[in-house]
Amino acid sequence: MTVNITAKKIQVTQAFSDYATKKIEAKLDRFFSGDADCKVTLSEQKNMITCEVTVRTAGLIFRSEQKATDKNDAFDACIDRIIRQIRKNKTRVEKQLHSSFKGGFDDVVEEQADFEVVKHKKFNLR
């Protein structure tokens, strides 16, 4: 997983960068293989730190934005929200797979034996 950390109107220390990278790898690597891309953006507006975390992987995008007075608190809230989104998506996909599997056997038609003639009808033509 590649992690990209950017900042607007705020300084990002090496300690925060290491903290964010370790936390992302610890929390999100179990859900994604190595092809995922994570982008963290920090900005400061009116004494509040805004943290945006975007995770892109094969056809899926998970995004979270949180505000707090501390950048670590905002980042932790974003990661928690991303994990909730991933779990919600995972259970939704599993439910769709299970529901399609339950109805899958209803369409199968068993082979029937030869038909038995029950009634003969005769019509006169004019």
Instruction: Starting at the earlier edge strand, list the strands of the sheet with 37-45.
Output: 2-8, 37-45, 48-57, 60-68
**What mean pLDDT comes out for the span 73-93?**
94
**What mean pLDDT comes out for the span 96-101?**
76
Write the CATH number of the domain with boundaries 2-104.
3.30.160.100
Is pTM beyond 0.85? Reply is no
Cβ–Cβ contacts within 10 Å for residue 108, how many?
A: 6
> Tell me: the pLDDT tens digits for 17-44?
999 999 999 999 888 877 899 999 999 9
Pick from 81, 83, 72: nearest CA to 26: 83
Delimit the domains of the chain by residue range: 2-104
Pick from 85, 88, 6: nearest CA to 51: 6
Which pLDDT belongs to residue 101? 63
